[in-house]
Amino acid sequence: MTKSTVYGPVASWRLSRSLGIDMLCTEQKICNFDCVYCQLGPTTKPQTERQEFVSLTKLSEDLTAAKGVAADWVTFSGMGEPTLAANLGAAITTVKSILGLPVAVFTNGSLINRQDVRSELGLADMVIVKMDAPDETLFQSINRPVDGIEMSSILQGLQLFRFEYKGKLALDIMLSDVNKGKGYKLQMNARFALPDQVQLNTPLRPCEIKPLPAAELEIFRKNWFWDRNTLTVYAAKRPEVSPIDVEETERRHPTKPKTEPAQAQLTATGQVNEAQPQPSQSG
């Protein structure tokens, strides 16, 4: 394996200059979801079991080479679901010891009902959990998990994690036409999770789902999350960054479509309708 586990920094609307860590470090996405809006494309090889993809020795070498890079956060994301890496906890500890920066983990929450995963996530300074669906039906059509993963299990695990976790918990809600009318249930789910922050997102990075306009996202925020600490993808500021390797950063954090596909609109039944192309933006 020659590719570095470290990429970026990227201009994150959530975390300013974010230096990425990819503990999967593969050519294809490794995930147990197949979200309709994923900028990495379809999940061609669904993964259900945790395993070690990258050694801590390799990670330590890459982190040492990246010392001195201007960054505000180190973020575990990369080519799929970070909690599928069985050595995630040790990797978080390694990052902190070498770079001394705060650590965030982006997760779909699929394994948060497991005690070992909650313990490892607990080592991070911030955990950002996906919560796009108000109910099981839309969970299956938006996030398209592998068989056996249910939204109720994620919500239960998330509540346990909230009571155990001492860091900052954020919920990332990806909004489109299919779930924008489900504000009441989405905010009720968020209340049960007791997050420190709610992040209202919409698909601005390359994918086949049409984003909500900025004005519509702001109306949603005012209607349903006016009393929460919220951050929205349109309102957040993005800093200037100089990636270590532009090609590898774009592969893990795409900002430009590989082709010029027509954008699409997901319907409530999980079908995708073609629409006119939309400009891509960095997320």
Q: What is the pLDDT of residue 242?
A: 79
For residue 2, what pLDDT band results from cuts at 50, 70 and 90? low
**Phi, psi at residue 122, to the nearest 5°?**
-65, -15
Region 165-194: mean pLDDT is 96
pLDDT of residue 50: 97
pLDDT computed for residue 117 by the predictor: 98
- DSSP SS3 for 280: coil
Share the mean pLDDT of the chain: 88
Residue (of 96, 160, 265, 266) closest to 276 by Cα position: 265
End-to-end CA distance of the chain: 28
Q: How confident is the model at residue 62 (pLDDT cuts 50, 70, 90)?
A: very high
- Domain-wise residue ranges, the chain: 6-274
Q: What is the pLDDT of residue 279?
A: 34
Provide the pLDDT for residue 254.
73
Instruction: Work out the average pLDDT over 171-192.
Output: 96
Positions of E strands within 60-151: 73-76, 103-107, 126-130
Q: What would the pLDDT profile of 136-159 be if each residue is shown by its tens digit?
A: 999 999 999 999 999 999 999 999
Instruction: Please report the beta strands in 3-66, taking only residues with DSSP state E, as ranges in sequence order.
Output: 6-12, 16-21
pTM for this predicted structure: 0.88
Spatial distance between the Cα atoms of 266 and 270, rounded to a whole number of angstroms: 6
Residue 133 burial (C-beta neighbours within 10 Å; 0-12, 13-18, 19+):
buried
E strand residue ranges, the chain: 6-12, 16-21, 73-76, 103-107, 126-130, 168-174, 197-201, 230-232, 264-266, 272-274
The whole-number average pLDDT for the span 38-62 is: 93
Q: Which CATH number fits domain 6-274: 3.60.110.10, 3.40.50.720, 3.20.20.70, 3.10.50.40?
A: 3.20.20.70
Cβ 173 vs Cβ 189: under 8 Å: no
Tens digit of each residue's pLDDT (9 = 90 or more) over 231-272: 999 988 887 887 788 778 777 877 765 443 333 444 443 444
* Angstrom distance (rounded) from CA 212 to CA 176: 6
Whether 123 shows a pLDDT value over 80: the answer reads yes
- Point out the least confidently predicted range of 57-66, 119-128, 169-178, 273-282: 273-282
CA-nearest of 56, 50, 84, 59 to 3 is 59
Residues in Cβ contact with 50 at an 8 Å cutoff, skipping those fewer than 6 apart: 83, 84, 85, 86, 111, 117
